[in-house]
């Protein structure tokens, strides 16, 4: 095993990099990539961007929570991320009396900052290539997964030892390479600022994934440490982090053609997949997600619009469901519009021609598409039912989903475990019960459960759980009466009942909600998942070899690895684009556009009175551009995806100029194939961020803490 410093040797050499496409590994920047970055306006050295030996940009970038990015913006651990990344933590503090979701939250001193149990941020500390060790002992496809899993467990245990660090070993290039990442994890992260709903969530579902945008998508937290500067759980005695590196904020403004670099943690792409994958997304996966989430969102909206308390409870949940609901709508549409399936077929035809030019290639790659085809014949059969089992099944109704947490204790009860062990497990579940019911509405969940079960029975005709099949057949596909009775009887919809049950636990087998959840899981685990595993054994080797073969065939192509929530760098420029025939978009939006979208009382487009007053007076202070406008959002050619939410947009000097928060509608197929002409990253302008802090929140304490470049 060898450490990956700047001289890391990758599987392929980096040739002919393009300025916008690419999620590059920042610890292995090639000379050509760096030269192109510098030509575009980057003035930083490779070590100023990423170094394991001295402070660098990477030390300001964190994994935020379970799936976003954040960055330090002060010497005292102030951390910036997106509004939608921190929304669930804000929601936990909100009440009808203190509605931080609608009104916003501003801490005017460190004493007012709010702790967030369970929230962590992770700083990358070390990187190492462990491919040889992970693949040691792999001899065949049938045992490959098990051998790799055991090797990873062994390596992780050895590296972690007794240290309080997080170790992740991640596959790259379809499992042709494995890299180990070591993170320092900080567990005391406090809420500092959240803008009002009419800024942070402005445009909501209607504007999501589209340009032009007019959204102040930010939250600010602070990282705390113990008095020795080490990670620690929350304590009143903890102190603000002494930042190893942080980003100054530049408010000189962006212009067309300006250099823009993003460091962050993109979640998942599939840029080297086959045409079979694309076809499956269009015909099965995307429709399944869209159908289930449309049904759930319709019920959410009905109850949230009727009751502010329900709105507060479900704001974060609704946002989470709706984000990838619209993503799949856009992805499916743009995969078809951008002819991605046909382009994949063309690539595969070229690959076959290349293979059959050489007998040695034929021996290695000649049969891989037969194997891949067999895999996707199974996947095409199970994908829609598998999606419904998750989305309308065990993750459908909240009570159904929550009941799954009681599987272990129920098994222990049925196996006649000791009273002491059962009581200990029950005690451990009490806090989860309190947390669940704090943000639970029984009437909403009842309507969601009915609607999703009705949808499941109507849409799916194979691999259907027996309970859903029997109840649906008995009631003509209408689950209303059954759900009504189930909600009367089940302990999982009533906090008092469930708390009482925890005092004297007994078998849950006859609880209708629990029984339904177990029946759905049984169908998935014993009917569908074995088919999924069979598909993997048939096709995963072929897909891994296809990746390897593409890299051999296309020597002129720069094969950055697919996103997998590891740190990546993307560089490009600020640019407008043509969205369609006669549709030409500028590269920025202004506060005038916010006011033009204003709809009084509308949950998506309402604006707080104080914000309207400031806009009407054009009170923008030092954050106005040369024409007196307040720039709200801008777009760049950077290559990002989910997980990059909250990533910093950095200029050539290493200064923050914006906050990445979304992609654009015309390039929603981008996770599968980058669309060179139209793919854009949507960013919040740093000037709008500071205007919100200074003029709306009036948190001068925060403004004074920042390093602002004018």
CA distance 646 to 661: 6
CB 147 within 8 A of CB 89: no
Cis peptide before 632 (omega within 30 of 0): no
**Is the four-CA dihedral 188, 194, 200, 205 of positive or negative sign?**
positive
Rounded Cα distance between 314 and 439, Å, is 7
Q: In this structure, how many other beta carbons lie within 10 angstroms of the beta carbon of residue 291?
A: 22
Angle of CA points 497, 503, 504, to nearest 5° = 95
DSSP string spanning 469-516?
HHHHHHTTT--HHHHHHHHHH-GGG-HHHHHHHHHS----TT-HHHHH
Nearest residue to 304 via CA among 295, 292, 316: 316
**Rounded-to-integer distance, Cα 501 and Cα 427, Å:** 11
DSSP letters, 129-144, are E-HHHHHTT---HHHH
What residues act catalytically? Answer: 84, 217, 645
Q: Which has the closest alpha carbon to 659: 682, 691, 640, 641?
A: 682
Q: How far is CA 31 from the centre of its chain?
A: 31
Sign of CA dihedral 83, 89, 92, 98: negative
Residue 60: Cβ within 10 Å count:
24
Q: Please compute Rg for the chain using Cα positions.
A: 26
The Cα 221–Cα 86 span in angstroms is 9
2-3/121-129 β-pairing: antiparallel
Asked if 120 and 189 count as a contact pair (C-beta separation under 8 A), the reply is yes
CB 167 within 8 A of CB 147: no
Question: If we measure between CA atoms, which residue out of 258, 234, 155, 172 comes closest to residue 561?
Answer: 172
Cα of 8 vs its chain's centroid, Å: 28
How many other C-beta atoms are found inside a 10 Å radius of the C-beta of residue 212? Answer: 19
Nearest to 300 by CA among 152, 446, 506, 96: 446
Tell the burial category of 86 from Cβ atoms under 10 Å away from its Cβ (0-12, 13-18, 19+).
Answer: buried
The answer to whether 28 touches 8, Cβ cutoff 8 Å, is yes
The first and second tokens of residue 684, run together, are 């919040």
């Amino acid at each position: 095993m060898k450490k990956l410093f700047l001289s890391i040797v990758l599987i392929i050499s980096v040739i002919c990099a393009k300025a916008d496409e690419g999620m590059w590994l920042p610890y292995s920047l090639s000379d050509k990539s760096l030269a192109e970055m510098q030509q575009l306006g980057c003035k930083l050295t490779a070590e100023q961007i990423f170094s394991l030996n001295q402070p660098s940009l990477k030390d300001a970038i964190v994994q935020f929570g379970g799936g976003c990015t954040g960055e330090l913006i002060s010497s005292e651990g102030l951390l910036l991320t997106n509004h939608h990344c921190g929304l669930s933590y804000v929601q936990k503090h909100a009440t009808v009396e203190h509605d931080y979701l609608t009104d916003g939250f501003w801490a005017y001193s460190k004493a007012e900052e709010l702790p967030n149990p369970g929230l962590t941020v992770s700083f990358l500390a070390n990187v190492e290539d462990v491919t040889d060790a992970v693949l040691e002992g792999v001899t065949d496809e049938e045992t490959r997964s098990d051998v790799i899993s055991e090797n990873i467990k062994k390596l992780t245990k050895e590296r972690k030892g007794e240290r309080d660090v997080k170790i992740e070993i991640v596959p790259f290039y379809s499992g042709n390479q494995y890299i180990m990442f070591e993170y320092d994890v900080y567990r005391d992260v406090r809420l500092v600022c959240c803008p009002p709903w009419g800024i942070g969530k402005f445009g909501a579902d209607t504007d999501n994934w589209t340009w032009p945008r007019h959204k102040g998508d930010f939250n600010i937290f602070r990282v705390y440490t113990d008095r020795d500067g080490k990670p620690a759980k929350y304590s009143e005695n903890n102190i603000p982090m002494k930042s190893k590196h942080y980003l100054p904020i530049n408010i000189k403004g962006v212009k067309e053609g300006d250099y823009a670099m993003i460091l962050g943690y993109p979640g998942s792409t599939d840029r080297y997949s086959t045409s079979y994958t694309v076809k499956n997304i269009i015909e099965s996966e995307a429709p399944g997600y869209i159908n289930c989430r449309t049904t759930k969102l319709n019920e959410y909206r009905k109850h949230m619009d009727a009751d502010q308390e329900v709105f507060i409870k479900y704001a974060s949940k609704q946002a989470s469901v709706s984000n990838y609901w619209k993503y799949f709508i856009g992805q499916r549409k743009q995969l078809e519009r951008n002819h991605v399936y046909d382009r994949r077929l063309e690539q595969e035809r070229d690959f076959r021609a290349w293979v059959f030019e050489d007998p040695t290639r034929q021996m290695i790659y000649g049969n891989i598409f037969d194997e891949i085809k067999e895999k996707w014949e199974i996947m095409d059969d199970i994908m829609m039912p598998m999606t419904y089992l998750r989305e309308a099944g065990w993750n459908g109704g909240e009570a159904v989903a929550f009941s799954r947490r009681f599987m272990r204790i129920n098994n222990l009860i049925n196996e006649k475990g000791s009273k002491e062990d059962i009581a200990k497990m029950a005690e451990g579940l009490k806090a989860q019960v309190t947390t669940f019911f704090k943000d639970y509405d029984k009437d909403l969940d009842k309507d969601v459960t009915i609607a999703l079960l009705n949808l499941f029975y109507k849409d799916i005709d194979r691999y259907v759980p027996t309970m859903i099949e029997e109840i649906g057949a008995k009631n003509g596909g209408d689950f209303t009466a059954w759900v009504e009775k189930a909600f009367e009887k089940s302990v999982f919809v009533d906090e008092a009942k469930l708390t009482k049950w925890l005092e004297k636990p007994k078998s849950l087998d006859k609880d209708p909600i629990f029984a339904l959840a177990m029946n759905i899981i049984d169908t998935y685990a014993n009917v569908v998942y074995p088919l999924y595993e069979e598909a993997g054994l048939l096709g995963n080797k072929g897909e891994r070899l296809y990746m390897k073969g593409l890299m051999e065939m296309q020597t002129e192509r720069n094969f950055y690895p697919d996103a997998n929530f590891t740190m990546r760098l993307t560089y490009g420029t600020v640019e407008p684009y043509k969205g369609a025939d006669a549709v030409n978009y500028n590269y920025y939006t202004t506060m005038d556009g916010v006011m033009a979208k204003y709809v009084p009382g509308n949950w998506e487009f309402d604006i707080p009175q104080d914000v309207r007053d400031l806009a009407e007076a054009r009170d923008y202070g030092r954050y106005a551009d040369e024409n007196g406008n307040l720039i709200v959002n801008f777009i760049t050619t950077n290559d990002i995806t989910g997980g990059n939410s909250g990533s910093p947009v950095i200029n050539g000097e290493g200064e923050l100029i914006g906050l990445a928060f979304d992609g654009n509608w015309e390039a929603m197929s981008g996770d599968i194939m980058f669309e060179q002409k139209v793919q854009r990253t949507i960013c919040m302008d740093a000037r709008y961020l500071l205007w919100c802090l200074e003029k709306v929140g009036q948190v001068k304490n925060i403004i004074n803490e920042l390093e602002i470049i004018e």
